[in-house]
Amino acid sequence: MNTSAPPIPSNGADTQRTTSSRVPRRTGKPEHMNGPLYRQANSNVVLVRRPKRKNEGAWKQLTRWFVDNQIGASFNLLALLFLAHGMPRARDYTSKYFTLSYYNPQSGKYGLGSADGYLILFYIVLFTGLRAAAMEYLLAPLAKSQGIAKRKDITRFSEQAWMAIYYTIFWPLGLSPSYTQSSSYLNLHELWTAWPDREVSGLMKAYMLAELAFYLQGIIVIHIEERRKDHWQMFIHHIVTCTLIYASYRYGHTRVGNLILVLMDVSDLILPIAKCLKYLRYNTLCDLMFGLFMISWFVARHVLYLMVCYSVWAHTPEIMPHGCFKGAKTNVTGPFEPPTDQGPLYLLEPLWDPEGLVCYNESVKWTFLSMLLFLEALTIIWFSMIIRVAIRVVSGAGADDTRSDDEGDAVEDEDEYTYEVAQPLEEEVGVDKIDLKNWERRTGVKRTEPTTTGVSFPGHSDRKELLGRIGCEKHVD
């Protein structure tokens, strides 16, 4: 399709010659265009293409600004942080943003506390900047070099490629030798021993906080960028996941929290790779990768994950001590009976007080188990959609994720752009409006008197003759 815009005529005569053969008849809706910003509607009107801005409030304008300035805003904040860290008096405050807090030299582990929020905030800003920069300067150019032309397809490819990069790093990190050599590796009973444990290793702490920051940043992304069909499912999924990560971290269940993240992340690693292959038109590889994704999803999220849920129900009452405990890791006292004057609010105390009451009883067990099962219900809904995709693959239609909106097959310009009449940049005035004397005063340039040639025509001055030759005689009396 020819994407070049028709030339804008310089005068009426040129317009009459070109519009009949080159400009389509004006209809109520402009033709689909992928590249041009202007089009000519008729002999007198030129239309300019602009993004639709229907009923935009202050919040919508703010989010659009943030989407357009993610890279600059993120890296400017990080630059200010590191510049401030160069000042000795500020280091006690700034170091909390990029170092692990609450180190205990006696045990070689790290405690928990409110200062962990600084590192989470640092991760959120860092992930935002890295994601936007990678999509803009690395992944989008890669997509274009591989023949992906539509803007929406380029955006989708970049998003999926970023997810693949993230999980390629963090899924192996969850399976690192420091975890696999622990007593809880392939042993569900050991997930619940040595509780309450209010200290964690440095690697576990950094991993859990980074994963929490990633899902918090995901909540921001799904609200400021274009919404998908499964927006609310993803929002609820992220909320439940963040709650589980934070609660397992503060309740001393980091081992089971790490295991659940590993089970979830394996399929989240394979699916973005399959989608990227689809955009690159490697359809056979895409279908094979999608098959691997289905197997990993079913095994990890509907077999192993349910085994963890079963362990919460069956093993925790046998292994974990009932009652409440209080104090730091080096001075934990208990068990105590749960307080009776606070109602169920005492169950929330570990979420803000790292040395407050942390309890295990039937209420705690069913609270965690209900959240885990709710997450499982969401994955079952998604798996039913995945089955529909598998049927498409078997029938020869190819793999296409039905959980999100149709990627790349929509006519984006018709939906996202509107056309307005282009306003002239200059105002047409008559020759008699030109004030040459005022121009001389402002510029200091003196006009030289024209020399006469001795040739004249009756009834015409030299000025009028000159204006006639350049086509301006209609303005002269």
pLDDT of residue 181: 55
Separation of first and last alpha carbons in the chain = 50
Q: What is the pLDDT of residue 224?
A: 79
Query: What is the reported pLDDT for 57?
Result: 72
The torsion defined by the Cα of 154, 157, 162 and 165, in degrees rounded to 10, comes to -130
| 376 neighbors 306 (Cβ within 8 angstroms) | yes
Q: Report d(CA 159, CA 420) in Å as an integer.
A: 32
- Residue 199: CB atoms within 10 Å: 22
Tell me what pLDDT residue 475 has: 46
Tokens (6 digits) for 214: 């990633």
**What is the per-residue pLDDT for 184?**
59
Task: Mention every residue, 6+ apart, whose C-beta is less than 8 A from residue 355.
Answer: 198, 326, 327, 328
Vertex 220: Cα angle to 217 and 225 (nearest 5): 120
Report pLDDT digits (tens) over 106-136.
Answer: 888 999 999 999 999 999 999 999 999 999 9
Strands (E), 384-447: 417-421
Instruction: Give the dihedral sign, CA 161/165/170/172.
Output: positive
C-beta atoms surrounding 378 within 10 Å: 17
Rounded Cα–Cα distance for residues 261 and 200 (Å): 17
Q: Note the pLDDT of residue 421.
A: 60
Element spanning 324, H or E = strand 323-326
Which parts of the chain sit beneath pLDDT 70? 1-56, 177-186, 393, 396-477
Cβ atoms of 298 and 284 within 8 Å: the answer is no
The per-residue pLDDT for 1 is: 47
Contact at 8 Å (CB) between 258 and 174? yes
Give me 299's structure tokens: 């095994």
Backbone angles phi, psi at 358, to 5 degrees: -130, 125
CA distance 447 to 428: 24
Pick from 241, 182, 173: nearest CA to 207? 173
Q: How many CB atoms lie within 10 A of CB 453?
A: 7
371 exposure class (CB count in 10 Å sphere: 0-12, 13-18, 19+)? middle
350 neighbors 251 (Cβ within 8 angstroms): yes
Copy the structure tokens of residue 198: 């209010």
Query: Contact at 8 Å (CB) between 190 and 183?
Result: yes
Give CA–CA dist 126/97, Å, rounded: 11
Q: Is residue 336 classed as helix, strand or coil in its secondary structure?
A: strand
Quick: pLDDT tens for 363-376: 899 999 999 999 99
CA-angle at 64, arms to 59 and 65, nearest 5°: 95
Q: CA 477 to CA 474: how far, in whole Å?
A: 8
| Residue 132 · residue 74 · CB < 8 Å | yes
